[in-house]
Amino acid sequence: MYVDGSCGSALKLIDFGLSNKFKRGEKMEEVCGTLYTLAPEMLSTEGYTEQADLWSVGCLAFILQSNQYPFLQEAHELEDKKKRAALENAQYEFGLGWRQKNISEMGKNFVRNCLKKDPNERCTAVKALEYVQREWLPYLDQMEEQLESIASNGNNGRNKELRTQVSARSKQRMESKMLEGMHKYAVSGEFKKRVLVTMAYTMDKTSVRELREIFLSLDTNNSGTITLGELKEALTQMNSDKHMDDATVRYCTA
């Protein structure tokens, strides 16, 4: 989902009521999720792994690009033997919607890499992200630049705006007041910590935009978490004479 209606709005994941922790190599059995992103192995009794999510990503990429559904759309279609067989055997086609929109091979290849019948043959989440970052987005940037050159209308486009935001983010630095806030949180009692966490979850998202930008600038490997090493690196780059040893850094983030 988009955080807000602005042109450069960030994206966020929602609906964690259907999420589940897993251990790599172990299969899950409970069938849940949205029908039109249902992976074929979830129809069997053999269980499924995190690779079912990559199938779902492929379905979403298919829908977003073509405005069509690759397999099922409504619950009653599960009773349709032909459609169910197509899902179970990963049989789909890039039909009229794809041709009308002139969707690139880059977009089709992403879908192909996700919508494979054998979960072990699908791309992993890491490989999917690498494909998007190293191949698909650069291709889209190149196509945008070509269109801009033809149009010559001075419109920089959304991708350049996003690149500007990323560039600005990479220059973001922790201010001393942020470090002081972390320290105060660490020494707070358990009750106060719970209250602060609750407040953070209920705050308007515009109020924590600066915190989000700082978090993203610290998370240098895009893991979604900040390691002790990343935090220490940020502290050494601060324009401050407050240098902390490892024990103090651990204490502030406890």
CATH number at residue 74: 1.10.510.10
Query: In this structure, are 41 and 101 located in the same domain?
Result: yes
| pLDDT for res 249 | 61
* Domain final residue, candidates 142, 164, 196: 142
C-alpha to C-alpha distance for 7 and 9, rounded to whole angstroms? 6
Query: In this structure, are 202 and 124 located in the same domain?
Result: no
In tens digits, the chain (254 residues) has pLDDT values of 888 888 878 888 777 776 777 777 788 887 777 889 999 998 888 888 989 999 999 999 999 999 899 998 888 888 889 999 999 999 999 988 888 888 889 999 999 999 999 999 999 999 999 999 999 988 888 887 777 777 655 445 555 554 444 444 444 455 556 666 666 766 677 777 777 777 777 777 666 666 777 777 777 777 777 777 777 777 666 654 455 566 666 655 55
Residue the block writes with tokens 């966020």: 12
| pLDDT for res 40 | 93
Query: In this structure, are 30 and 107 located in the same domain?
Result: yes
Structurally, how many domains does the chain consist of?
Answer: 2
Structural contact between residues 139 and 106, judged by C-beta atoms closer than 8 angstroms: yes
Per DSSP, helices labelled H in 1-104 are: 51-66, 81-88, 96-101
In a domain, 2, yes or no: no
In a domain, 155, yes or no: no
Q: Please give the residue range of the domain that contains residue 76.
A: 16-142
The pTM of the full predicted model, rounded to 2 decimals, is: 0.61
In a domain, 160, yes or no: no
Query: In this structure, are 21 and 122 located in the same domain?
Result: yes
In a domain, 243, yes or no: yes
| pLDDT for res 168 | 47
* Domain final residue, candidates 116, 142, 168: 142
Query: In this structure, are 138 and 83 located in the same domain?
Result: yes
| pLDDT for res 169 | 46
Query: In this structure, are 100 and 182 located in the same domain?
Result: no
In a domain, 130, yes or no: yes
Query: In this structure, are 104 and 26 located in the same domain?
Result: yes
C-alpha to C-alpha distance for 90 and 229, rounded to whole angstroms? 43
* Domain final residue, candidates 142, 163, 190: 142
Per DSSP, helices labelled H in 67-131 are: 81-88, 96-101, 105-114, 125-131
Query: In this structure, are 192 and 131 located in the same domain?
Result: no
In a domain, 230, yes or no: yes
| pLDDT for res 244 | 58
In a domain, 10, yes or no: no
∠ CA 18-225-182 to the nearest 5 degrees?
120
In a domain, 157, yes or no: no
Query: In this structure, are 136 and 205 located in the same domain?
Result: no
Query: In this structure, are 243 and 191 located in the same domain?
Result: yes
